Structure 1
Amino acid sequence: MPLTSKHSETYNDALIALAAATQRPANVVNLAGGYAIRVDLEYNRYVLATNTPLGLSDETHDAGSWLVRFFQTRIGGLSDELLAEATDEWLIDAFDSVLNHIEADGNKIVADANFGDISHSESSTHSE
């Protein structure tokens, strides 16, 4: 029986944390028998998070450090490209580290619109 539902319940806090950090839905996915938390991002990129080398542990108390990997999907049947990875005891710290690696390696994509930094140019007409 697939463990997607069980892992979704067990790792609900991790799902919520990654969803909040990315502003995207986070889901547990089956990757050839191993399970991971996946977040699909813009520009055909995605993040996978696991807490053991083989995937998500069945029990959170048996889990090790979090491994967060950032991938670029390749079109045409090619294997997806691993852009960066980071490991940390805490999931969000590993996620922050992988983002820092992406930027340091020059793989950051600057979006057309920065919604957090919208500048307004004011033009006012004054009658004197």
Structure 2
Amino acid sequence: MPRTQEHTDRYTDALIALAAATHRPANIVNLHDRYAIRVDFEFNRYVLATNSEDGLTSDVDAIEAWHVAFFQLSDGAADELLAEAEDEWLADAFDQALDCLRRSANWIDSDAKFGELAKLPVGVASEA
């Protein structure tokens, strides 16, 4: 039986936090019987957030860490892992994964700036 609604109810705060951090909708998705929070971005990229080896746990008291990973959607092949991080707090794990992506060769510079995921101009310090 699908558990998308159950996880949506359980992880409302996490969905709101990622939606606020990314300025995009966050949803619960089922990936081969493994549930995760997903946010889609430009350039066929997306982020997945989980809090256990098996995806989203049903026991919120057992959460030890959040794992956040950015992926590049691929045609036919497995999606490419671009950056990942893990932390006790979802927002911190997201910030760390985003920072890792920004510093990597996988970052895409664009003339169009898409919200918070735009690279900072040279000489501009990020707010910590």
Q: Same fold (TM over 0.5)?
A: yes
The normalised TM-score by structure 2 is 0.85
Question: How many residues matched?
Answer: 116
Equivalent residue number for residue 90 of structure 1 = 89
Ranges in structure 2 where 5+ consecutive residues have no aligned partner: 119-128
Alignment of structure 1 residues 1-128 onto 2, 5 Å: 1-75=1-75, 77-114=76-113
The normalised TM-score by structure 1 is 0.85
CA RMSD of aligned residues (A): 1.5
**Structure 1 residues 76-113: Cα deviation after superposition (integer angstroms, max 9, x where no partner):** x1110001110000001000000111112122222322
CA distance in 2, matches of 1:18, 1:83: 18
CA distance in 2, matches of 1:45, 1:92: 19
Q: Aligned to 1:33, what secondary structure does the other structure show?
A: coil
CA distance in 1, matches of 2:73, 2:48: 12
Ranges in structure 1 where 5+ consecutive residues have no aligned partner: 118-128
> Aligned partner of 1:96: which letter?
D
| Structure 1 residue 54, shift from structure 2 partner | 1.1
CA distance in 2, matches of 1:46, 1:115: 14
CA distance in 1, matches of 2:10, 2:78: 30
Distance 1:112 1:8, change over 3 A: same
